Chains A and B, each alone.
Chain A
Amino acid sequence: MNQRIRRFAVVLIVLYVILFAQLNFIQVGQKSTLDADARNTRQTVRDFNDPRGDIRTSDGIVMATSVRNTAGSEFDWQRTYPEGDLYSAITGYFTFGYGATQIEKVQNDVLAGRTVEQQIKGFRSLFNGQDTTGTVETTIDANIQQAAKDALGNREGSVVVIEPATGAVKAMWSWPTYDTNLVAVQDSKLAGDIFNYLDEVPGKPLLANAYQERYMPGSTFKVITTAAALDDGLITRESTWADESEFLPPQTTDPIQNYGNKVCGGDLPEVFRRSCNTPFARTAIELGPEKMVAATKKFGIGETIPFDLPHSASSQFGDVDYFTQNLPLLGIGGFGQGNTQMVPLHMAMVAASIAHGGVMMKPYVIGTTYDHDGGVLQRTVPTVWKTPMSPATSTLLTELMVGVVNEGTAKCCMHLANGIQAAAKTGTAQLNAAGEPERSHAWIIAFAPAEAPKYAIVVMLKGTTAEISEGTGGTLAGPVAKKVLDVALAQ
């Protein structure tokens, strides 16, 4: 019988090895699939029952925090956002059943105290009951953010302020937005209803329009065309363009016109500050598809912006083949119309690169993360993303943009408090076809002080219905930019 018993032992061993293999398959192989299953609320419940660190501005204002619930609540902690909607596009939300976004998502491990460093340091907490949560300090300046919100008011649009030398985002606001507290409720059914409502509201309030959407940039794009032509040597400060009201590009019978069909021309500073269209259309076509597309790529157009918040958009210009077939569209693209689309944050980075000697920094909003005892976990080191133009070109562009403020399309509204000199470029992106009611995005990009820039800004007012002229962007977006820069520079 012993031989049979031996065989039976082998059978049992095989059965247990099968169990072991299946355990490996589930606990190792399928782990990530199982953890990611939407019906699996284990991780979320754990997160909701654990304390969670704060998110705060660079000047110490609390953007998101967790408060202990009264006994008897479903969960031990409630995530709250003391400033309501002010920072919703930056902190994102942390919900039960609907996941998390923005900083709440990407810095989840730090906030929940789950990074390896926190776990090691927090070993003591096993005995003294202290939590291991971390704090995320953003680069946001509460005053500038508030100023951006106040200045934009209830108009649809975006405002982004960044530090040219570092790429640190000091303010990022867009309207419409939503109050984060509304979706961070414990009742997941209620949260679901609110999400559904916000999804249907026009203007995409759930989307952080300032970095997740792209819009036609209008004449603000001329800084890019100008930088490309100056770096190439095609034009210089002394180049002149003859007075004309329209220009007939090759491959078409439909001429490109200036705003309101005005006669426009002169040297580079003049056509730049008056924002004539035809000189930039000619310049783009003369540079040709290859050089023009290569120049936009040097600005990072076509690439996802390397922002430290998730799902940032990419700006668009077009490719060489397309423009070779459609030279008139290359001309139109040269002054920011047609298929050209820019993310507001990206436009702020373009302004910042001019202010920073032709070097474009990676934008970031997460400054420093701290463990529970205030020790630094990680500090973002400013890094260069692109070098879109030569220092000489950036100096000349600064001069041109100062001209815009002093004598050009932004003359109306960009004279900053205390006599601080700003440099700016306006833009009016016409959205309607000829004969339709006029609609446009009003833009301004600027930086100040012009001689030693501290802040670069973009203001974009979406789909305004004011009468379109080369000055529309300046008169509508200019005052917003001025208010925000005044607050920023007063500190």
Chain B
Amino acid sequence: MAQDHHDDGPSDVALRVKALESLLVEKGLVDPAALDLIVDTYENRIGPRNGAKVVAKAWADPAYKARLLEDATAAIAELGFTGAQGENMVVLENTATVHNLVVCTLCSCYPWPTLGLPPTWYKSPPYRARAVRDPRGTLREFGVELPEGVEIRVWDSNAEIRYMVLPERPKGTEKLSEEALARLVTRDAMIGVGRASAP
């Protein structure tokens, strides 16, 4: 991060948030215990392992996959993953001929309940600018080389909809359990900048 080189320096920002927090607490507008719980939840409890469970279940259970592609919000809620930034989910299926890629050009919209908070690169100007202009080149930077015949569909998040990619199931995984399948699902694969890992 550029914070070490910013004009105001990290100390100004750290001091500013400390001042804001202390005023909010003083006025009774926020509960300090709730603040710590929020941090713990988003730093330690919510993350891409949730999305991986959704993907593994879709790979293992065709009826679930159909529900997921039809109404992702409801299908994801079946596994208990609900909440802020997951209210209107759409799941996009990658196939041998179609590759989906998710971005938020205007902002940093991302499906928190299934993927957690977004990585810094997802929120950065270069990714937001280039994912829509040169998706094939952007994917190459992530180590994903797609054959010319594969159509790339780029999905730009809006104020309401949050997208998640259902990656292709890797070959040779027919006998794996759902738990073992989930371990092959990477965060990048669910954004569309990667593939699921080989077994």
A binds B: no
